[in-house]
Chain A
Amino acid sequence: MTLRHLTWFRLEDGQWLGEWKGHLPPPPAHLLAQIGDARTIGLNAWLQDAQRMITPEGSPYETHEHCWDLAAWDDCPTGGAVCVDVTKFNWPLGDQYFHEWNTLDAGIEYPDDRKYIQVDRARQYIDGNHSSSRFVRSTSEKALLDITGTALEPFHGSIHGKLTLENGRWVLTGAPAHVADGIQHALDDGVVDIQEALLPHKEKVLIT
């Protein structure tokens, strides 16, 4: 058996449909003995045959992890998706979520980075501003807040300082003076949930 990480994208707009990680039966030995285009074509055919049996409901293969956009999967017509093998990247399941399939180029696009701020839970201190096209996951010590598309995003790179709760309002002190007001207004508008971020870290939750 061979461990594979597969991702499905909708052909129409390249949107992510789901991911699956598990063991597939190995490709036939005669395919592995080939080289060049014949090998690539053969392995592509093997993968496409294998993936047809994988669905959100289950598969005949040993599944390690899977995650899906169920509504998008159900809406996708037959022939409306592509399955690609992303095993070699060794990224966690779900990390392809913000990526898109480019049908013309037959490849995955990595759109603009997401913007994150990092909050040190114990010190109630924003101590990092991150950019990544993938998820940055919170830990027991650090809460990662995705500020992409929020009123905080324009200030990315300048958001840092001590958070204190004053009369039910989170106040940030220590940010550069020329952006402090803008950042504080965004916090006042509740674009991120500081209270939730400072709660003890919760492990990944399965939605049933």
Chain B
Amino acid sequence: MKHINPNQLWTQVPVANRTVEVNTKTGFTAAVSDKTGFSLTAGSYTVRASSCQRALAYMTSVASYAFTISAVTMTRTHVAYGGSAPPAGATDWSWDARCYLTSTTVVTCDRISSSSHTTSLNFSVLELF
């Protein structure tokens, strides 16, 4: 199981400590990677992806909440949401809310009306390629 802090992912390489080969063909001094050596050129390959994020957001009395998500491309992304059911017998609209994408990494959830009720919203963020 990988478990890392994203802040530790970015690394700079101590070049002086590493063996560097010289690629005389181009005159560029650097290691020739060739970790691949593996050729995909004999056929075709495609890289497919899907991105689906799910979340459960809890709202107390605040009118508008921001929820952080993995970065998406806004024009490719659809946000679907649903509110929690109020307790039996409750009839007011204060539970209603809506969710929408406000930036590449933020889904905003707004209450339709003011309330001191805590409510929850499920939302999913689908990125379509």
Contacts and interface: CB of A to CB of B under 8 A. Distances in A.
B6 A94 contact: yes
A141 B18 CA distance: 40
Interface residues of A, number: 79
B4 interface: yes
Given A68-B13, A127-B65, A48 B39 contact: yes
Q: What DSSP secondary structure best describes chain B's contact surface? A: loop
A204 B26 CA distance: 35
12 contacts: A57-B13, A73-B35, A76-B35, A80-B37, A81-B37, A92-B71, A95-B70, A108-B48, A127-B58, A132-B53, A174-B118, A206-B10
Please tell me the size bucket of the interface on B: 35 or more
Interface of B: 1-4, 6-15, 18, 20, 23, 26, 28, 30-51, 53-60, 65-71, 73, 105, 118, 120, 129
A57 B15 contact: yes
A4 B93 CA distance: 49
Name which of A90, A110, A135, A202 has the most chain B CB atoms within 10 A of its CB: A90
A139 B105 CA distance: 10
B121 to A, nearest CB: 10
B4 A207 contact: no
Contacts of B129: 88-89
Nearest to A54: B33
A10 B110 CA distance: 44
A26 interface: no
Contact of B12 (A45, A60, A94, A208): A208
B45 A67 contact: no
B53 A53 contact: no
Interface stretch (A36-44, A163-171, A182-190): A36-44
B99 to A, nearest CB: 11
Contact of A81 (B35, B46, B73): B35
Name which of A53, A86, A130 has the most chain B CB atoms within 10 A of its CB: A130
B47 A57 contact: no
Interface in A55-71: 55-60, 67-68, 70
A46 B71 CA distance: 29
A205 B68 CA distance: 20
B50 A110 contact: yes
A183 to B, nearest CB: 14
B79 to A, nearest CB: 13
Contact of B13 (A45, A56, A134, A202): A56
A204 B34 CA distance: 30
